[in-house]
Chain A
Amino acid sequence: MLTKNNQKYLKVIIFILSLIPIFFIIYKIITNQLGPEPIKDITHHTGKWTLYFIVITLAMTPLKKITKLNIWINYRRMFGLFIFFYASVHLMTYVGLDYRFDFISIGDDIIKKKYIFIGFSAWVLLIPLVITSNKRMIKALKDKWKKLHRLIYLISLFGAIHYLWLVKRDLTEPLIFLTIILILLTFRFKFKSN
């Protein structure tokens, strides 16, 4: 078992590792290595990493059950906050860089395009989870906190469907994400019935 101190170091290391994707894309911007549609590259990169962090976050509870180690749960909140971080950069790329805060066009997109609607909804649903992620809120909300944070199950599905709906023809990747998320969610149902 790791000592308290080592766990703290591990947390710092994981935090830095989780920032690599954002540094990676910043590096590509600075060195001019993005493709002919640079904004699309940033949007896709941050979108994918949002999905990766959803998968990582959802995997913590199953890993705890399988390995019978509680340590996984120590990092769940941080991973969850990274979902929000990457989702926000993703959204801001679309709103600020792609559409330059043209809220008429953006509003039109949200209403008319179902993949944007569901993706935007997922981001909005993340907000209450972020606000209630600190220790004080956990204490204050007690049992309600657990219920509230089950929202992540819905958010994860929204995220996968967002990807599925935007892909033009080759659905392989979004279906892989959806499958992994569904598998991770079934873990919850199993444990609940125990």
Chain B
Amino acid sequence: MKNYKYSDITPEKIYSKRRNFVKSFGLGLGSLTLSSMSLLNNAHALKNNSELTSYKDITTYNNYYEFGTAKGDPYKNSQEFKIKPWNISIEGEVERPINLSANEILSLYPSEERIYKLRCVEGWSMVIPWMGFSLSKLLNKISIKNDAKFVEFESVYDPEQMKGQRYPVLNWPYREGLRIDEAMHPLTTVVTGLYGKTLPNQNGAPLRIFVPWKYGFKSAKAIVKIKLVKKMPTTSWMKASPREYGFYSNVNPNVSHPRWSQASERVIGGNLLSPRVETQMFNGYGDDVANLYSGMDLKKYF
């Protein structure tokens, strides 16, 4: 990893906190250590993917159809979006449903910096210094019933404020889901910010999910509901096109999408002469997550 480009604009307090985090993270997850700052296990991929994507690109090049389908729309159309007050309910197969405000969540679970690679299903990727904490921390707060097998995430529905929701581009509100063991995995993150700052609206403020080993659309933005369920939820993209978007949607270079090459990807921030880079199984997080899928045919369960 090259020098942090943003070190000069990051307050010292956060900067030192980051270093602590990276240290603790290195202990927890073998592939991510302070000394190498390696995001990926593969040395070849590391060479091409080790630079942080610029704050500008991360915050102006987004897929967030609630604010419009063009990449620049979320930035343009989300600046007036009101995220206060914001409540998130955790319900379904739980002993006692709860309702927390975004502020409560932020104060209960301190955020740490988590540098993850985002691989979009469209064949591009970014390296993003998120702020956040493991979703498992939040889920451990409640007692989940034994028959809960999946977690469904529901994003906000507010067509007054979200232009894109006035058109049936997708089945609103946006729904995503994870198997419960995926949701409990330490890499599955509740994102609260990026580049040491609070999360911009166009990136899913106030709280979003980020699942580093899955295609970007699996990571729901602006969530208002986390529901523990017995059956596999039907997500918005599965409804839109079941042939193209499976429930699992793990990054997998061996399973081709009808429209985009999944074997390789473009790293955002490159120039005209930057080559494509090979896409890694599980987006490079295989050491940490491959065991979740042992014995599964990932071509069938794509």
Contact = CB atoms under 8 A, between A and B. Distances in A.
A148 to B, nearest CB: 32
Interface in B259-288: 259, 261, 263-264, 266, 268-272, 275-276
Contacts of B266: 37, 39-40
A169 B264 contact: no
A109 B240 CA distance: 23
B269 A169 contact: no
Interface of A: 29, 34-40, 42, 97-100, 105, 108-109, 112-115, 165-166, 168-170
A97 B270 CA distance: 12
9 contacts: A36-B61, A37-B266, A38-B271, A39-B266, A105-B263, A113-B256, A165-B259, A168-B259, A170-B69
| A29, A37, A98, A165 interface centre (most CB from chain B within 10 Å) | A37
B85 interface: no
A43 to B, nearest CB: 11
A94 to B, nearest CB: 11
A34 B71 CA distance: 13
Contacts of A34: 272
B170 to A, nearest CB: 7
Given A98-B276, A169-B240, A36 B269 contact: yes
A37 B268 contact: yes
Given A38-B272, A169-B69, A169-B169, A113 B258 contact: yes
A112 B258 CA distance: 7
Given A35-B71, A113-B259, A169 B65 contact: yes
A100 B275 contact: yes
Given A34-B272, A113-B258, 16 more contacts: A36-B124, A36-B268, A37-B124, A37-B266, A40-B266, A99-B276, A100-B275, A100-B276, A105-B264, A112-B256, A115-B259, A165-B259, A166-B259, A168-B122, A169-B65, A169-B69
B57 interface: yes
Nearest to A29: B272
Contacts of B60: 36
Nearest to B60: A36
Given A113-B258, A114-B258, A169-B240, A36 B57 contact: yes
Interface string B49-67: 0000000010011000100
B61 to A, nearest CB: 5
A111 to B, nearest CB: 10
A29 B272 CA distance: 9
A169 B263 contact: no
A97 B264 contact: no
A166 B259 CA distance: 6
Contacts of A166: 259
B261 A109 contact: yes
A100 B256 CA distance: 20
A114 to B, nearest CB: 7
B240 A105 contact: no
Interface string B107-141: 00000000000000010100000000000000000
Nearest to A171: B169
A77 B112 CA distance: 63
A39 B124 CA distance: 12
Contacts of A168: 122, 259
Contacts of B263: 105, 108
Contacts of A112: 256, 258
Contacts of B275: 100
A109 B71 CA distance: 24
A36 B127 CA distance: 13
Nearest to B124: A37
Nearest to A100: B275
A71 B275 CA distance: 47
A169 to B, nearest CB: 5
Contacts of B256: 112-113
Nearest to A112: B256
Contacts of B69: 169-170
A108 B72 CA distance: 31
| Closest 4 pairs between A and B when the two form their complex, measured CB to CB | A170-B69, A36-B61, A36-B57, A36-B268
Nearest to B70: A170
